[in-house]
Structures are given as structure tokens and as C-alpha cells.
Amino acid sequence: MQISLAQITPIWLNKAATLEKVTSYVDQAADEGSRLVVFGEAILPGYPYWLDATRASKFNDERQKELYAHYLREAIVLTDNSEEVRRSASLLNSDYQSSKAGGEAKVAVSDLAGLCALAKRRSIAIVLGCIERALDRGGHSCYCSLVYIDGNGSIQNVHRKLQPTYEERLCWAPGDGHGLRTFPLHGFQFGALNCWENWMPLPRAALYGQGENLHLALWPGCKRNTEILTRFLAREGRSYCVSVSGLMRRSDVPKEIPHYEHIIEHFPDSPSDGGSCVANPDGSWLLEPQVGEEGLYTVELELEYVQRERQNFDPAGHYSRPDVTKLTVDRRRQSTVEYLD
């Protein structure tokens, strides 16, 4: 199977403009014959780099409130037919529409509708790192979500990052286990995690247990992470490991964002340097880390390579002892409210 890694710089904190850029890379990957294109963590509308540059831990700071409100407005909204989402959508979205179909109202709003249509038209699957404004949690918190759109244009999975890392906790809410799933794709079974989730042994085990043989690791962009962990994950899982990163430089901060002057004063020259790469199931490099430049990187994956490496180690099969150690995973979507009416 041929896949593409899209290492791009977002139009930072601008959802519409970044979506246009993502669309162009999806088209390019489809033109090259790829069956899957993968983007980095939080690429839409961008990673919260301002946190480290603006003393974001200061409590009740007006500047942080304004930046968070801007981030929330630029986060994506996804459709859901649950009652609590319909109720929230009607309040939070000016373009909310509902129609009676078989007696049930359906939410007709989704920021990724155009991307889904493109995936269907070009018969290409997409894995995209997003900031999600989750209507099923009230619509006022940001989640670092990983969205899988299949080649038929359907959103098959939304995985919300289980544990935001360090300063990320100042603006991202913790997710749940609902998205810890794998999916078939042209002979492979792939799963995906965000950034430092890839260091968490038990979520990795949850994916191994579902037959994962292609692991996607999404990053904001840092070679020091991808060059260490990508080969390890491939070797541990005896799977292909594909790490996809973003890029960000000081010159990429748009002047239109709130508090531009304050942010740019303390912004590092290059907080994200890329590092997208691919490791083979034996831990060797298929694509070494790509640093400092945007680009679409395309590789060919061979299922037999996985099968050969499983001969002496299969983490959820012959080299496991479920009678001794076993993992329980709660994949229910968590909520603070259960409606009984």
C-alpha cells in the first residue's frame, strides 16, 4: 500500500485557511496514487504555541482568556445525532439546521464536510490532527482529536487525546477511550495516537490487541521525539510506524491573531522542526526524519514484512500471557450528563 505523509505548516489559528491547505495536500497525495494521507497533531487550526511564550499559567489573565476564546472559535465542530449534541448545536452554531427524517432531527453542521466529500471523490483515506470543540461535552472545551475519514468520505473515528502534556493542560481537556480502535485498510490494520500518548504502554497495548500492524503517530513536530520513538514503536509492535509532524517558525505567526506583539516578543525561532519519518517492522528506517521543510513524503508498505517479523515476536499473540496479565479498556464516550427523558 502506498501512503503519504503531509508535513505542513498550518495557517496558524485560522481554520478556514488551514483547511484549504490540507485540501491541496490531499489532492496531491491522491494524484500520486496514495491510499492514505496523514497530517500532524493539532494541525487544524494549529498547536497552542502561545502558551509557552506568554506565561499562560497566570490565573485569570485577560490575555489568556482572549487567546483561548479565539482558539475555541477556530476549533472544528463535528456532527453527531445524540440529543445532547443537537441541543448544544442549536445554541452554539449560527448555521445549525435540523430536518425531520423518520421523526428524528439531524445535525447538519460539520467543519470537515468538504474534506469528507474530497476523500470520497478521490478515494483516499485521511488521518488528520484537529482541535475539536466537542458539542457532546457542552461545546466550550478544546480537545486534541485525531480524525479518521475513510475513502468513502465517512468519519469513522474521532480519538480525543487521553492525556494532554505539560502546558497543553492549560487549554486542552483530557479525552477518553472511545477512539482506541483500529481499522482495516487495503490489507493492513491501522491505529493511531497523538504525540506523547505514544509513550503510554497501555493505549499501545489496546491497539496491539486489535491486530494493529500499521501504527500512526501524530506529532506537532520535533525530531528529538520522532527519531527515538518511531523505531522503538515499530520494533515493539513488529509493525510499520509512521510518524507525521507539523512545522512552525517565528515567521509563521500571523499578525492578525490576538496579542500578536506580545506573542512574537517571546516566540522561539522554530518551536517545531518537523521530523516526519517511517520505520519498518524490524525498526530500520524506511524514511529517515525529514527536518525543516514542508513536503509530501510517499512510501510503499509491504504486508509480508510485518508477517515475517511476527515469526519471533507477536505482542498480542504468541508472545503474550493473558492468563497472567490482561488489559481492560473502557471505550464509552464519557459525559457529565445522562438524559433520561
Domain locations in the chain as residue ranges: 2-76+111-309
Q: For 57-105, write each residue's pLDDT tens digit.
A: 999 999 999 999 999 999 999 975 444 444 544 544 444 333 333 333 3
Q: Which of 116, 144, 171, 195 is the catalytic position? A: 195
The confidence score (pLDDT) of residue 94 equals: 43
The confidence score (pLDDT) of residue 337 equals: 85
- Model confidence band, residue 248 (pLDDT cutoffs 50, 70, 90): very high
Is residue 161 annotated as a catalytic residue, yes or no?
A: yes
Least confident of 22-36, 78-92, 104-118, 219-233: 78-92
The confidence score (pLDDT) of residue 99 equals: 34
Decide which of 311 and 338 is more confident: 311
Q: Which of 21, 41, 74, 84 is the catalytic position? A: 41
The confidence score (pLDDT) of residue 336 equals: 87
Report the 10 Å Cβ neighbour count for 140. Answer: 14
Domain 2-76+111-309 has CATH 3.40.190.10: no
Is residue 309 annotated as a catalytic residue, yes or no?
A: no
Mean pLDDT value of segment 196-225 = 97
The confidence score (pLDDT) of residue 82 equals: 45
Give the three cell numbers for residue 134: 466537542
In the predicted model, what is the mean pLDDT of the chain? 91
Percent of the chain predicted with pLDDT > 70: 91
Mean pLDDT value of segment 104-118 = 72
Q: For 135-150, write each residue's pLDDT tens digit.
A: 989 999 999 999 999 9
Q: Which of 15, 21, 161, 223 is the catalytic position? A: 161
The confidence score (pLDDT) of residue 80 equals: 56
Is residue 100 annotated as a catalytic residue, yes or no?
A: no
